[in-house]
């Protein structure tokens, strides 16, 4: 029992369970927009469990799929599987439990969320292999996270009856792809040596930084479109300004010849973006109603 508990703790550390914070606020925002205020407590509970299950499944499966690459990459060779701290079998069992939690939570929400849930699982499984054959893997990752706000909208309403969740998902997709391009810059040499596909490996770090900026500019444009489509007020304008400032700040931290502050750009800034949008755009919904 002690071994199982220790392995679960190691697995949660391996998949960075705390980074669910990146996507969960977007799911909550999708639910708030759908409900024109607070969703029910039951909906919030099952949306949260669905998000935890989906992300746990995605991260654990990714660690299994990439275990051989991780073992050869100096940056990742100390991850739990290549370091021998966890067996592949244990992580696969954990992955199945995560998928089961996601499917059960989807079933408890409504029929359409259950019907669409295999699409989400297939997407997060596919992502783990996309870097082997396409440089668009960053956009596939963006798609995986972008499922959250539209899925939460469907969880509340039982239908997809508005462009609002699609615009929010577009924001998440482009925002995620942009910061994933930044993150991939640190594996430039390894990806080229292993024949893996990424935007930095294909275009170089300097050009990739500009591609990341363009993706984030697109995310901001989609956010402006969301603001007008949802007819939000002054508080949401504050969210627009703060998000734009954080995106700009993120790109001041990283230069082609200096990636030393990449973790600050990736982790800290991104967590703030999702929370700021939940507070300001979600708060604007309550002020409007």
Average pLDDT score over residue span 221-232: 97
pLDDT band at 178 (very low <50, low <70, confident <90, very high): very high
**Among the ranges given (55-64, 77-86, 228-237, 264-273), the one the predictor scored with the smallest mean pLDDT:** 264-273
Q: Which CATH class is domain 2-288?
A: mainly alpha
- pLDDT above 70: residue 273: yes
Where along the chain do its domains lie?
A: 2-288
Asked if residue 3 has pLDDT above 80, the reply is: no
Residue 2 predicted with pLDDT over 60: no
Lowest mean pLDDT among 7-21, 68-82, 85-99: 7-21
Indicate the pLDDT class of residue 118, thresholds 50, 70 and 90.
Answer: very high
Whether residue 211 has pLDDT greater than 70: yes
pLDDT at residue 235, as a whole number: 96
**Is the pLDDT confidence value at 122 over 60?**
yes
Residue 272 has pLDDT above 90, yes or no: no
Bridge partners of 255, per DSSP, are: 258
Pick from 3-12, 111-120, 183-192, 227-236: least confident:
3-12
What DSSP string describes the chain? -HHHHHHHHHHHHHTTGGGGGGTHHHHHHHHHHHHTSPPPHHHHHHHHHHHHHHHHHHHHHHHHHTHHHHHH-TTTTTSTTTTTSS-HHHHHHHHHHHHHHHHHHHHHH-HHHHHHHHHHHHHHHHHHHHTTT-TTHHHHHHHHHHHHHHHHHHHHHSS---SHHHHHHHHHHHHHHHHHHHHHGGGHHHHHHHT---HHHHH-HHHHHHHHHHHHHHHHHHHHHHHHHHT--HHHHHHHHHHHHHHHHHHHS-BTTB-TTHHIIIIIHHHHHHHHHHHHHHHHHHHH-
pLDDT band (50, 70, 90) for residue 18: low
What is the model's pLDDT at position 50?
96
> For 36-83, what is each residue's pLDDT tens digit?
999 999 999 999 999 999 999 999 999 999 999 999 999 888 888 998
* For the chain, percent of residues with pLDDT exceeding 70: 93
In the predicted model, is pLDDT for residue 119 greater than 90?
Answer: yes
Nearest to 138 by CA among 192, 177, 88: 177
What is the value of pTM for the model shown? 0.93
Instruction: Give yes or no for residue 131 having a pLDDT over 70.
Output: yes
User: Is the pLDDT confidence value at 133 over 90?
Assistant: yes
Confidence (pLDDT) at 270: 77
Question: 239, 130, 223, 235: which is closest to 184 by C-alpha?
Answer: 130
Whole-number pLDDT of residue 255: 87
Higher pLDDT, 263 or 281: 281
Report residue 279's pLDDT band, with 50, 70 and 90 as the boundaries: very high
pLDDT value for 128: 93
Closest by CA position to 66, among listed 144, 162, 152, 131: 131
């Amino acid at each position: 029992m002690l071994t199982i508990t220790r392995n679960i703790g190691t697995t949660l550390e391996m998949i960075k369970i705390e980074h669910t914070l990146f996507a969960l606020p977007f799911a909550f925002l999708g639910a708030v927009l759908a409900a024109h205020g607070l969703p029910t407590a039951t909906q919030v509970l099952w949306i949260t469990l669905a998000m935890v299950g989906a992300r746990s499944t995605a991260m654990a499966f990714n660690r299994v799929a990439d275990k051989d690459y991780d073992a050869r990459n100096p940056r990742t060779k100390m991850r739990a599987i290549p370091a021998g701290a966890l067996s592949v079998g244990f992580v696969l069992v954990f992955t199945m439990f995560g998928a089961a939690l996601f499917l059960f939570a989807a079933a408890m929400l409504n029929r359409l969320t259950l019907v669409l849930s295999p699409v989400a699982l297939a997407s997060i499984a596919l992502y783990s292999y996309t870097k082997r054959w396409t440089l668009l893997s960053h956009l596939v990752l963006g798609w995986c996270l972008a499922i959250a706000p539209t899925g939460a909208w469907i969880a509340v309403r039982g239908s997809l009856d508005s462009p609002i969740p699609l615009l929010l998902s577009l924001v998440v997709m482009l925002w995620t792809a942009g910061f994933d391009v930044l993150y991939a810059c640190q594996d430039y040499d390894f990806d080229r040596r292993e024949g893996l596909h990424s935007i930095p490996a294909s275009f170089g770090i300097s050009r990739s930084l500009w591609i990341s900026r363009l993706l984030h500019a697109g995310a901001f444009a989609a956010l402006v479109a969301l603001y007008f489509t949802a007819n939000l007020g002054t508080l949401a304008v504050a969210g627009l300004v703060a998000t734009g400032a954080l995106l700009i700040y993120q790109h001041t931290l990283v230069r082609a010849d200096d990636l030393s502050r990449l973790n600050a750009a990736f982790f800290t800034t991104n967590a703030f973006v999702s929370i700021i949008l939940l507070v300001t755009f979600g708060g604007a919904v309550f002020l409007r109603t």
